[in-house]
Amino acid sequence: MTKGQIRQSLSGYYDVVTTDGVEYRTRARGNFRKKKQTPLVGDWVEFKAQKADEGYILEIYPRKNQLVRPPMANLDTALVVTACVQPDFSSNLLDRQLAMLEANDVSPVLYFSKYDLLTEEQKAKLDPILNYYAKFYPVYRGSLPARPETLETMLANLHHQVIVVMGQTGAGKSTLLNQLEPSLELATGEISKALSRGRHTTRKVSLLPIGDNLLADTPGFSSFELLEITKEQLPTLFPDLVAHQADCKFRGCMHINEPKCAVKAAVEAGEIMPSRYANYQLFHDMIINQKPKYR
Binding-site positions for GTP read 113-116, 167-175
| Cβ–Cβ under 8 Å, residues 26 and 43 | no
Q: Helix H segments across 106-188?
A: 120-133, 148-156, 173-180
Q: Which residues are annotated as a binding site?
A: 113-116, 167-175, 248, 253, 255, 261
Q: Which residues are annotated as a binding site for Zn(2+)?
A: 248, 253, 255, 261
Strands 107-113 and 77-83: what pairing?
A: parallel
Name the residue among 99, 112, 115, 108 with its Cα closest to residue 227.
99
C-alpha dihedral sign at 194, 195, 196, 199: positive
Report how far apart, in Å, the C-alpha atoms of 224 and of each of 73, 83, 103, 191, 206 are.
17, 16, 12, 23, 22
Distance CA 182, CA 145 (A): 12
Distance CA 60, CA 72 (A): 13
What lies within 8 Å, CB to CB, of 114 at 6+ separation is: 83, 84, 85, 86, 143, 144, 171, 172
Tell me which amino acid residue 40 is. Answer: L
